Amino acid sequence: MIKRIGDTDILEYHRFSCHCGAVVMELHLPDGVVTPRRCDCSLCRRRGAIAGTTSLDRIRFIKGEDQLRLYQFNTRVAKHYFCQICGIYTHHQRRSNPAEYGYNIACLEGVNPFALGDVEVMDGINHPSDRKKDNA
């Protein structure tokens, strides 16, 4: 649990937005930023975001839910959302725990994710939910 990132306090109700401001949400973060991490799956490796964790009921849209687009791949369980205008990844519903959202810490207003220091990298390449290729 991290309640402060660099010189920024993480508020219990923290404003969250994409780059252009078309998508604005409020995240309920009573425990601060929980389990910040990166993933090395094919998508996360390319987007490079650091994700925090929150439950589905802790994200409230203020505006722009209609500006989000959904991207799914592989098992099609995870739901990755991004702003259709600026292209910024905002959040995703996890396949490892569909009751949780991973959210882009860089979208927390006033937060510099580089102030986190070293961040754990999850093994998304060898995720246990991936479809196994048949070598027959």
Domain boundaries, the chain: 4-122
Sort 20 into a burial class: Cβ within 10 Å, 0-12 / 13-18 / 19+: middle
Q: pLDDT digit of tens for each residue in the chain (136 aa)?
A: 778 888 889 999 999 999 999 999 999 999 999 889 998 888 888 888 999 999 999 999 999 999 999 999 888 888 999 999 999 999 999 888 889 999 999 999 999 998 988 887 777 777 666 555 443 3
The DSSP element (H or E) to which 47 belongs, if any, is helix 42-47
CATH code of the domain made up of 4-122: 2.170.150.70
Q: Report the predicted TM-score, pTM, of the whole model to 2 decimal places.
A: 0.86
Q: What is the DSSP annotation of 71-136?
A: E--TTS-SEEEEETTT--EEEEE-SS-TTEEEEEGGGBTT--GGGG-S-EEE--TT-TTSPPPP--
